[in-house]
Structure 1
Amino acid sequence: TTKIPKKQEPVRYQSTVGLSTDEIAEIVGRIEEVLASRRTGRPPLMSLAEQVEMLLLLLRRNLPQTVVADLYQVSQPTVSRVYRRLVPLFDEVLCLHEPFFVDVLANRETLVDGTDVPTGNRAGTKENYSGKRHRQGLNIQIAADLDGTLLAVSAPAPVPGARHDRRAISECGWEPLLDTTVWTADPGYQGTTATTPTKKPKNDELTDYQKTVNKTISGRRSAVERAIAHLKNWKILATGHRGRLTELPNIIRIVARLEFYRLGW
């Protein structure tokens, strides 16, 4: 007979699940407090710590559930049940770590850029197709400070991937708030109150002064691109959401809150 290997120890590597052991333990403790007041059924197959680590692994690495099931030596339906049970609990226990956009805008220059969350090509969602990126996705707006610290994510209000950033910043509701502060963005936001690089005139060249200013703005904008890169280390936002499309806005919000939590907000 084939010998069944012993169950592996829970994942403890920050580079794998995105959070440190202490941060994971804190989330487990918060979820235990929430569940303590609720009626529970039969004892679960996995400990709560293992379930939390499993969900973090799914969000951080975007592995197929069948692969995660093999890693934890459970069935794929068990992984699916854990995922659907813990997602709303994560949203609940991390909600206080999401800063209010109005508060983070005060007394600082803000950098804004848009990025897409790929969804894979799905029937009946042509409005999500981006001709620029040649794929379907949802557009989210990202705000960061000059140090590259994430300030805000336009979740749960992503817009179809076909939207230009100029329209997306308006549809997500940020534009009136940004109009009251100093903010910098790329040329896609021309027409707003943002400081943007000067586009090259048709059949003409930029002056040396304009080129210098553009270079300065581009150098400052690199900070928001770093913030986007760190956010998309949660690979479920970078490599394609496999679940129901209606669930994606909530996943974006939860991942954003995890990143705020990781950053110490």
Structure 2
Amino acid sequence: MCHITGLTRGRVEELCALIHEATSESIRRWPPVLVLHRSVVVTLAYLRRNRVQAELAEAFEVSQPTISRVIAAMTPLLAGVLEQCIPAADDLSTTATPTESPAPGSATMEQGCPPRWAGAVFWGPGR
């Protein structure tokens, strides 16, 4: 699952629990054919890799319009539950540099997933 979504199965399940907890029956607009877990996986795959909706539809054995509805319904829900996880500027470390990558086995690295930006430069011209 790491290569599709960028998250471990456990992290995806945590996201599903947060979404389920944050939504009432009237807000649950993802198509029932995909259920919550598969809807989260489809949306994360689309957002992470910008996969073509027809390709996702084929992989998840649903129609392209269903994939479109899932993405439209899940993206704001994901944004809402993840917004609370984004630190404020005052909470960020002043000693970290933009080129630091998490060390293998560190608490900031997803268990079972390779580092996504190991050695990458996040911003700055010519770096």
What is the TM-score with the length of structure 1 in the denominator?
0.37
Alignment partner, residue 5 of structure 2: 17
Structure 2 SS opposite 1:228:
coil
What is the Cα deviation at residue 15 of structure 1?
Answer: 2.0
Match of 2:120 among 226, 232, 246: 226
Q: Are positions 1:95 and 2:83 aligned together?
A: yes
Q: How far apart, CA to CA, are the structure 2 residues paired with 1:93 and 1:42?
A: 16
Structure 2 match to 1:147: 100
2:110 paired residue number: none
Give the letter for the 2:95 counterpart: E
Find out whether 1:27 has 2:27 as its counterpart. no
Shift of 1:40: 5.1
Mapping for residues 172-191 of structure 1, pairs under 5 Å: none
Task: Look up the match of 1:56.
Answer: 44
Paired residues of 1:148 and 1:227 also in contact (CA < 8 A): no
1:109 counterpart (62, 75, 95):
95
Structure 2: stretches of 5+ with no match in the other structure: 103-116
Distance 1:40 1:60, change over 3 A: closer
CA 1:42/1:70 → structure 2, altered by over 3 Å: closer, same or farther? closer
Distance 2:74 2:31 in 1: 16
How far apart are 1:148 and its partner, in Å?
Answer: 3.3
TM-superposed CA distance for 1:77, in Å, is 0.8
In 1, Cα distance between the equivalents of 2:74 and 2:66?
12
Q: Distance in 1 between matches of 2:3 and 2:118?
A: 22
- Read off the aligned partner of 1:103 and give its amino acid letter: D
Counterpart CA distance in 2 for 1:42 and 1:86 is 7
Task: Give the Å deviation of 1:87.
Answer: 0.6
CA RMSD of aligned residues (A): 2.8
The 1-side partners of 2:78 and 2:88 are apart by 19
Structure 1: tracts of 5 or more residues without a match: 1-12, 112-143, 150-222, 230-265
* Counterpart for residue 191 of structure 1: none
CA distance in structure 2 between the aligned counterparts of 1:61 and 1:31, rounded to whole angstroms: 22
> Following the alignment from structure 1 to structure 2, what is the Cα–Cα distance between the partners of residues 63 and 28?
21
Q: Supply the distance in 2 between the matched residues of 1:148 and 1:104 (Cα, whole angstroms).
A: 15
Identity %: 28
Instruction: Answer yes or no: is 1:77 the counterpart of 2:30.
Output: no
Q: Deviations over 1:115-168 (max 9, x none)?
A: xxxxxxxxxxxxxxxxxxxxxxxxxxxxx3x6336xxxxxxxxxxxxxxxxxxx
Amino acid at match of 2:80: E
The amino acid of 2:64's aligned partner reads: Q
Larger strand percent: 1
Larger of the two Rg values belongs to structure: 1
Question: What's the TM-score, normalizing by structure 2?
Answer: 0.72
Structure 1 residues 41 and 81, CA gap change in structure 2 (3 angstroms): closer
Aligned length: 109
Cα distance in 1 for partners of 2:30, 2:16 equals 19
